[in-house]
Amino acid sequence: MFQLANVCSCIRGLHPDFRLRVKEETLLGYQKHLTPFLAFLQNRWELAVLSAEDVDLLMLEYRTEFDITRSQHTQLVASMEFFMPHVKGKLLLNREAIKGRIAGAPIQHTVPLTRECAFLFAAWHSSRGFPRLGAAVLIQMNTGLRPSEMLSLVREHVYIPLNPREAISVRLGAVYSTKVKREQFVLVQPSQSPFEYKLIKLLHAATLPNNKLFPFSYAAYNNSFGLAEKHFGLDLHLTAHSGRAGFATSRIMSGAEAKQVQAEGRWASESSFRTYIDVVGSLHTRAQVELGRLQAAATWCEQHIEDYFAGLALVNGTSAKQGRQCGTYEAPRLEAEGESLPHSSGARALHRVSKATVARGAVAEASEPAASSRQRLRTKSFPNTAKGKGSGKGRGKLLAAGRPSQSVFD
């Protein structure tokens, strides 16, 4: 028999064996999405939850009353099935409702990241003190890695050969399985990708043992594309998967065989592979870059991209939380010959500055009509790092009027 007390006790007293089924951050996400629904149940003291069908009906009522988003609805169903496995397969109303919401929503395909935008974004992130964020954009664009695969890489997953003419092998699924549920690998050839080859070697040398090459969260990486678009005055709606879509699209546009690209990107089926190819979207992105007068800046960044990562170095003694917020790494300190530029003061004398200064300001100056060059990429710019904030319907905890805030997980 189902009772509300049994539901709450199951949540509070989760068996240790059940915890091992998911990662710690996934467990916290389940708790976050289930807490407001349980508060909704506790505020209805007259309810008698006797079966899984009752839970199904109440979850649908909760979705309707508070108008939660489709993502929140999906996470709520997954959370309930995780904490109470015996209701799995019985939440039919909610599953069908989610299918209806998917069918009624407009189709959104991943917009591919083009080569021009990849170099612009990478240079911009690196010039503002986030070289690993910029490196992630270029490496994903070149290798076609899934965001989860790339962000889970640690130093020991990358094998650097002694012979510089041999390929670097990147091991995938060593800790958490890949999408095909088995280990895979990616080879980075020095002849095909000379700069990315050097960049991976730099990242490997600048990372401590058992540390991640890209120590930031999926949300931070996903949000970084929106920040870069805003800076350059673009409206592309790029996401963390855009680099993977850009890899497939650019390879197809260059004349590569579809079967070969599918194998290189490790797509299990042709249908899923085809959803990542968007030649029209790629041409639209290039048109926006040209209309925004960013083509010259993109070409300049590509020609001088090595300067942006020459000073990649690890800052020791930082916390794991700071690492997830992209704040653990210094801005690249480039040591190069100086060049003369006119001083900004009224005097006509030449002011001696380094090429590093030129490199850091070139992207911002090129996009000055679109965005202010004084804009800074800071940790607090990432919405996912701000706790207790939310917008839109159905977000935040549901609390009964006049009752103190308390989670059933406390």
Instruction: Give the mean pLDDT of 20-25.
Output: 83
Highest mean pLDDT out of 271-275, 308-312, 330-334, 354-358: 271-275
Does the pLDDT value for residue 402 go beyond 90?
no
Domain end (from 78, 104, 130) = 104
The reported pLDDT for the residue numbered 373 is: 39
Are residues 111 and 237 in contact, defined by beta-carbon separation less than 8 angstroms?
A: yes
Judgement on whether residues 343 and 224 belong to the same structural domain of the protein: yes
Q: Where are the alpha helices (DSSP H) in 130-210?
A: 131-143, 147-151, 194-205
Q: CB of 382 within 8 A of CB of 219?
A: yes
145 and 80 part of one domain: no
Q: Measure CA 49 to chain center.
A: 39
In this structure, the answer to whether residues 129 and 45 fall within a common structural domain is no
Query: Count of domains in the chain?
Result: 2
- Residue-wise pLDDT for 120-136, tens only, equals 999 999 999 899 999 99
Closest CA to 361 of 297, 292, 286, 288: 297
For residues 223 and 332, membership in a common domain is answered with yes
Identify the residue with better confidence: 144 or 379.
Answer: 144
Please report how many Cα atoms fall inside a 13 Å half-sphere around the Cα of residue 235, on the Cβ side. 1
- Residue 165: give its domain's CATH number: 1.10.443.10
Comparing 223 with 20, the larger pLDDT belongs to 223
Beta strands in 167-245 (DSSP E): 168-172, 184-188
The answer to whether residue 214 is domain-embedded is yes
Do strands 184-188 and 168-172 pair parallel, antiparallel, or not at all (unpaired)? antiparallel
Range of the domain at 200: 115-379
Give 105's contacts (C-beta < 8 A, 6+ positions apart): 70
Position 44 scores a pLDDT of 78
| Surface-to-core class of residue 34, CB atoms within 10 Å of its CB (0-12 exposed, 13-18 middle, 19+ buried) | buried
What is the per-residue pLDDT for 341? 29
The answer on 69 and 191 residing in a single domain is no
Distance CA 245, CA 407 (A): 40
H runs (alpha helix) in 13-51: 16-19, 24-42
Same domain, 204 and 147: yes
Per-residue pLDDT for 349 more than 60? no
pTM of the full structure: 0.62
Is 102:71 a contact under the CB 8 Å cutoff? Answer: no
The answer to whether residue 179 is domain-embedded is: yes
Which pLDDT value is given to residue 15?
Answer: 75
Is 22 inside any structural domain?
Answer: yes
Does 110 fall in a domain? no
Question: Of 95-104, 325-334, 364-373, which one has max mean pLDDT?
Answer: 95-104
Residue 319 pLDDT level (bands cut at 50, 70, 90): very low
Distances in whole angstroms, Cα of residue 346 to Cα of each of 338, 341, 349, 373: 22, 14, 9, 22
Q: What pLDDT is recorded for position 9? A: 58
pLDDT band for 8, please (50, 70, 90 cuts): low
- Grade residue 97 by pLDDT with cuts at 50, 70 and 90: very high
Mean pLDDT value of segment 302-317: 72
Q: Name which of 217, 227, 238 is nearest 376 in CA terms.
A: 227
Do residues 309 and 206 both lie within one domain?
yes
Residue 21 and residue 144 in one domain: no
The answer to whether residue 51 sits within a structural domain is yes
